Amino acid sequence: MAEISIPKLAPQERAAAPGAAGAPLIRIEDVSLYYGANRALKNISLNLGERVVTAFIGPSGCGKSTLLRCLNRMNDLIDNVRIEGAIKIGGHEINAPDVDAIELRKRVGMVFQKSNPFPKSIYENVAYGLRLHGVKDRSELEVRIEESLRGAALWDEVKDRLHSSALGLSGGQQQRLCIARAIAIRPEIILMDEPASALDPLATARIEELILELKKDFTIVIVTHNMQQAARISDYTAFFYIGELVEYDTTAKIFTNPSKRQTEDYVTGRFG
Amino acid sequence: MENHFETGIEALRQKLLLMASHAETAVNQSIQALTQRDHDLALRVKADDDVIDQFEVEIDELAIQLLTKAPLATNLRLVTAAMKISQDLERIGDEAAKIAKRARDLSQEPPVKLQLELPDMASRALTMLKAALDAFVNRDSAAARAIIPQDQEVDMLNKRIHAALAKHMTENPDTISRCLHWMVAAKSLERIADHATNIAEDVVFLCEAEDIRHAGIKLKTGG
Amino acid sequence: MNTVTPPEYLPDRTHDTTRFTRHFRAEKFDFWSFFFSGLTGLATLFILAILATILLNIIVNGWSAISWHFVSTIPKKDFFDANTTGVLPMIVGTAFRVIVMTIFVIPVGVITAIYLTEYAASTSMITRIIRAAVNNLAGVPSIVFGLFGLGFFINFIGKNMDRLLHHADAVWGQPALIWASLTLAVMTLPVVIVATEESLKAIPPGLREASLALGATKLETILKIILPQALPGIMTGGILAVSRAAGEVAPILFTGVAYYMASLPGHLSDQFMDLGYHVFVLSTQSPNIEQTRPILYATVLTLLLLTFALNIVAILIRARVRKQLRALG
């Protein structure tokens, strides 16, 4: 399948970003992934832009989460996985033998579908990543923790109970805590795997607002099965179907006038 | 299993088509009343305008309901186009009612002895309207695009008719009130042609997702 | 607008009241449900009754012989005189061997369980062999462990240690506290492994993923997130191991227990006396069974109380750990 390179920017974006927002940061080149003999991703090629939100949409089992997890090598944890093709972030191939997955995950963070705070205090949750990567000084920790909790729009709600258990927070708060935990170590890219699918509409709306704020500083790739969500918050959307990339374009185009019949059918709810 | 949203979209389409046929009939009948000096027909057209107005209200209501379900892609374009087309059809209905009003007044008075190009203008306007509505039904973007340049001809015809009427009025002052009625009727026909052009532009947007309004005349051959 | 009655298009059900006249009572008495809940209740009572009978029997018969003197005296060689005998060395011996066993079995068991759960590929041959070995180990009769302890720990390792350390007399190559404890550790290993594995498996995988996604290594994840969470489960395994080992006699028969020691065990190479073994001694060697019976029961009671005390301590510690986990990190 021919490479679909980054689509042309909308006119106002073209003017605003000389090589910054929108410039390709992640290059996925002819990637195929096998679970044993089963081919889950077929010759995927696309470039993801810097400091924009890219959404992966598609029916269940189409491979969108699998591709997302390739980007921070979380698929390494599964037995029997084989990857062909190249994935380059910032120009560096991330599956090269000399690449340390630990270092990669410092720069590519992840937020999961089901929020998974550690059974520790709010403070300790955010401090965990910081301590892993060498921040030991008490005062620096406190500054960074406050910065992250503010960045995740959670500070005001928890500033008086930083040392209480994270498990006492509501679902939406827990997910924002997980986001704070991820951004604490200042990654460049944040991967989100259906971050709001387990939340009520109000909490979902807050997460979506947060994502729109975060994209000023981070590159975000989000997997979602909620098309309206993708339409609301993403700049670019990629539609996957049974392991293949069907269409990749600006969100406006995908949701008002997609080029492929399959995309049109999926987006209007005729299947999937 | 039935797709309830698709049913709603289809209901919207059907309502729009129904409204369109009412509007087309109104224009037809109003021109007929005018040229054949049919007083009763003129009155009926005026009364029927209420039906067309009611359609616009219902279509807008249905469209807003469908928008709450967040339609995307073709469905989104259909819903927004339906709202705009229904507005144009409602104005067409109003213009037809205006023509009918003038037809009613003219039928009470003796005819003016003047050959006008009005029948030609009327038939062009009717053709444009019919073509725009057919293009909507058939989702034929090329046919819709072909309508747009025809508006120029209608505008020219209108100017010529006005000039002829003005000349006649200055030469025959006793025909002034009757000539004024004809002028207004011709103006309404010109407006109907404009609305038909708008509908054609909306159909192009619906089919191609391209907004060709206010861009001058485009004679594009294929996507 | 009347918001109470339903809109017209719903069928009018308001007049169909026959379905509600019976006030939701069941149509007939459900015999089988009643029978089975009764059966389970009876089974529980039956077990409790057996337990109560045993305990009461021991308490009633042994209480008269228990005294402070009894539990704090090192007896002379004659155990059978109720007035002069004591079980202090047996208490100390039992307690020591259980504690030393715990020191060995917990780390080995936990590390094995961590390997099986976190590191080993679940379908590889080695994993399957290890699991099979652990399961089979649980089924080995305890006397076989005793023989194993004698043959391996004492005759092989002990004797070689003596050779290497140039001991003229046998120091390690003979029955000793350490060998008995190690034998017990081998015997209770499956219990600890299984309990640890269960508590590791109970930890949701999301926690591991979250830690790894932040850039932690597997080892860091295990040490900082997994093990603290699994601690109550590991302690449960320890409690079960202690309960089992405290009462076992067969494994220590050849590996360290002595009929009589004049002093308390002070060194890992010492032999020791044991409560369970003492019960065996009292019931088989006694010249006057009537006179010895109270001592016997008292010894058993002491053993039960000792096990009980060890368990209580462990349970209390586990409860504190659980409370800490629940409150904060």
Cα separation, C111 vs C102, in Å, equals 14
**Burial tier of B68 (Cβ tally within 10 Å: 0-12, 13-18, 19+):** exposed
Residue of B nearest to A229 (CA): B70
Exposure letters A52-75 (e unless 16+ CB within 10 A, then b): bbbbbbbeeebbbbbbbbbbbbbb
What's the pLDDT band for A129 if we cut at 50, 70, 90?
A: very high
Tokens matching residue C224: 């900082």
User: What distances in angstroms separate CA C113 from CA C117, C131, C242, one per listed residue?
Assistant: 6, 10, 18
What's the pLDDT score for residue A2? 40
Residue A139 contacts B where some CB pair is shorter than 8 Å: no
Residue type for B128, please? M
Cα separation, B10 vs B66, in Å, equals 11
Please tell me which chains touch A, using 3 or more CB pairs under 8 Å as the contact test.
B, C
* Percentage of chain A modeled with pLDDT above 70: 92
Distance from the Cα of residue A119 to its chain's centroid: 24
Strands (E) located in chain A: 24-35, 38-49, 53-57, 81-89, 92-93, 108-111, 189-193, 219-223, 236-241, 244-250
Smallest Cβ distance to A121: which of C121, C204, C329? Answer: C329
Cα separation, B83 vs B92, in Å, equals 14
Q: A55 and A39 in contact (C-beta within 8 Å)?
A: no
Q: C193 and C238 in contact (C-beta within 8 Å)?
A: no
CB-CB neighbors (< 8 A) of B208 in chain A: 257
CB-CB neighbors (< 8 A) of A228 in chain B: 70
Report CB contact under 8 Å: C210, A165: no
Using alpha carbons only, give the angle A162, A201, B64 rounded to the nearest 5 degrees: 150
Residue type for C314, please? A
Rounded to an integer, the average pLDDT of A218-231 is: 94
Using alpha carbons only, give the angle B192, B194, B198 rounded to the nearest 5 degrees: 115
Please tell me the number of Cα atoms within 13 Å of A90 on its side-chain side. Answer: 9
pLDDT tens, per residue, chain C with 329 residues: 445 554 555 565 666 556 666 677 777 888 999 999 999 999 999 999 999 999 999 888 888 888 888 888 888 777 777 777 888 889 999 999 999 999 999 999 999 999 999 888 777 888 889 889 999 998 999 999 999 999 999 999 988 888 888 877 778 888 999 999 999 999 999 999 999 999 999 999 999 999 999 999 999 999 999 999 999 999 999 999 999 999 899 999 989 888 888 888 888 888 999 999 998 988 888 888 888 888 888 889 999 898 889 889 989 999 988 888 776 54
Tokens matching residue A251: 């969100």
Report CB contact under 8 Å: B75, A255: no
Q: Which residue out of C122, C203, C208, C214 would a mutagenesis test of the A interface target, given it has the greatest number of A Cβ atoms within 10 Å? A: C214
Helix (H) or strand (E) holding C148: helix C142-148
Tokens matching residue A160: 């008086």
CB-CB neighbors (< 8 A) of C216 in chain A: 102, 128, 132
Residue type for B168, please? H
The model's pLDDT over B134-157, given as tens digits with 9 standing for 90+, comes to 999 999 999 999 999 999 999 999
Q: Which residue out of A233, A267, A271 would a mutagenesis test of the B interface target, given it has the greatest number of B Cβ atoms within 10 Å? A: A267
Report CB contact under 8 Å: B3, A270: yes
Residue of C nearest to A70 (CA): C213
What's the pLDDT score for residue A10? 42
Candidates C20, C176, C221, C18; CA nearest to A129 is: C221
**Bridge partner residues of B167 (DSSP):** none
C-alpha dihedral, C166 to C170 to C174 to C175, nearest 10°: -110
Mean pLDDT of chain B, nearest integer: 91
What's the pLDDT band for B222 if we cut at 50, 70, 90?
A: very low
φ, ψ of residue A89 in degrees (nearest 5): -115, 120
Rounded to an integer, the average pLDDT of A253-259 is: 92
Tokens matching residue A238: 């990629």
The model's pLDDT over B49-93, given as tens digits with 9 standing for 90+, comes to 999 999 999 999 999 999 988 899 999 999 999 999 999 999 999
Q: B28 and B41 in contact (C-beta within 8 Å)?
A: no
φ, ψ of residue B124 in degrees (nearest 5): -65, -45
Chains B and C touch (3+ CB pairs under 8 A): no
Q: C271 and C135 in contact (C-beta within 8 Å)?
A: no
Cα separation, A122 vs C39, in Å, equals 48
What's the pLDDT score for residue B219? 53
| Rama region for A43: left / alpha / beta (φ>0; ψ in -120 to 50; rest) | left
What's the pLDDT score for residue C208? 94
List the strands of the sheet with A53-57, edge to edge.
A108-111, A189-193, A219-223, A53-57, A236-241, A244-250
CB-CB neighbors (< 8 A) of A264 in chain B: 73-74
- Who's near A68: CB < 8 A, 6+ residues apart? A56, A191, A193, A221, A223
User: What distances in angstroms separate CA A20 from CA A31, A51, A90, A219, B133, one per listed residue?
Assistant: 25, 8, 13, 11, 47
Report CB contact under 8 Å: C220, A119: no
Residue A170 contacts B where some CB pair is shorter than 8 Å: no
What's the pLDDT score for residue A71? 95
The model's pLDDT over A160-211, given as tens digits with 9 standing for 90+, comes to 999 999 999 999 999 999 999 999 999 999 999 999 998 999 999 999 999 9
pLDDT at A7 over 60: no
Q: A254 and A237 in contact (C-beta within 8 Å)?
A: yes
Count residue pairs from A and B with Cβ separation < 8 A. 31
Candidates C192, C230, C234; CA nearest to C208 is: C230
Give the DSSP per-residue string, chain B. Answer: ---HHHHHHHHHHHHHHHHHHHHHHHHHHHHHHHHTT-HHHHHHHHHHHHHHHHHHHHHHHHHHHHHHT---HHHHHHHHHHHHHHHHHHHHHHHHHHHHHHHHHHHHSPPP----SHHHHHHHHHHHHHHHHHHHHHT-HHHHHHHTTHHHHHHHHHHHHHHHHHHHHHH-GGGHHHHHHHHHHHHHHHHHHHHHHHHHHHHHHHHH----TTS--------
What's the pLDDT score for residue C78? 75
The model's pLDDT over A11-62, given as tens digits with 9 standing for 90+, comes to 334 333 334 466 789 999 999 999 989 999 999 999 999 999 999 999 998 9
What's the pLDDT score for residue C286? 84
Please tell me the distance in Å from A176's CA to the nearest CA on chain C: 14
What's the pLDDT band for A5 if we cut at 50, 70, 90?
A: very low
Q: Which residue out of C211, C326, C328 would a mutagenesis test of the A interface target, given it has the greatest number of A Cβ atoms within 10 Å? A: C328
Q: A250 and A7 in contact (C-beta within 8 Å)?
A: yes
Rounded to an integer, the average pLDDT of B189-211 is: 94
* Cβ atoms < 10 Å from Cβ of A260: 14
What's the pLDDT score for residue C285? 85
pLDDT at A123 over 70: yes
- Who's near A80: CB < 8 A, 6+ residues apart? A35, A36
- Who's near A126: CB < 8 A, 6+ residues apart? A144, A145, A148, A149, A177, A180, A181, A184
Cα separation, A222 vs A204, in Å, equals 14
Rounded to an integer, the average pLDDT of B114-125 is: 89
- Who's near C298: CB < 8 A, 6+ residues apart? C62, C63, C64, C65, C66, C70, C87
Candidates C31, C28, C51; CA nearest to C39 is: C31
Smallest Cβ distance to A256: which of B5, B6, B73? Answer: B73
Computed over its alpha carbons, how large is the radius of gyration of chain B?
19
Residue A227 contacts B where some CB pair is shorter than 8 Å: yes
Report CB contact under 8 Å: B73, A270: no
Give the DSSP per-residue string, C166-192. Answer: T-SS-SSSS--HHHHHHHHHHHHHHHH
CB-CB neighbors (< 8 A) of A265 in chain B: none
Chains C and A touch (3+ CB pairs under 8 A): yes
Residue A259 contacts B where some CB pair is shorter than 8 Å: no
* Cβ atoms < 10 Å from Cβ of A124: 20
Question: Helix, strand or coil for residue C31?
Answer: helix
- Who's near B136: CB < 8 A, 6+ residues apart? B16, B17, B20, B85, B144, B199, B203, B206
Question: Helix, strand or coil for residue A240?
Answer: strand
pLDDT at B200 over 70: yes
User: What distances in angstroms separate CA C74 from CA A54, A99, C176, C259, C263, one per listed residue?
Assistant: 79, 67, 19, 13, 7
Chains A and B touch (3+ CB pairs under 8 A): yes
pLDDT at A3 over 80: no
- Any idea which residue has 């399948």 for tokens? A1
What's the pLDDT score for residue C9? 58
Please tell me the number of Cα atoms within 13 Å of C242 on its side-chain side. Answer: 27
Candidate from B26-35, B207-216, C144-153 with smallest mean pLDDT: B207-216
Cα separation, A10 vs A212, in Å, equals 18
- Who's near A84: CB < 8 A, 6+ residues apart? A30, A31, A32, A33, A34
What's the pLDDT band for B221 if we cut at 50, 70, 90?
A: very low
The model's pLDDT over A57-91, given as tens digits with 9 standing for 90+, comes to 999 989 999 999 999 999 988 888 999 999 999 88
Residue of A nearest to B71 (CA): A268
Tokens matching residue C85: 């005998």
pTM for the structure as a whole: 0.81
Cα separation, B203 vs B145, in Å, equals 9
Residue B156 contacts A where some CB pair is shorter than 8 Å: no
Please tell me which chains touch B, using 3 or more CB pairs under 8 Å as the contact test.
A
**Bridge partner residues of A83 (DSSP):** A33
Smallest Cβ distance to C215: which of A102, A112, A114? Answer: A102
Distance from the Cα of residue C139 to its chain's centroid: 16
Report CB contact under 8 Å: B72, A231: yes
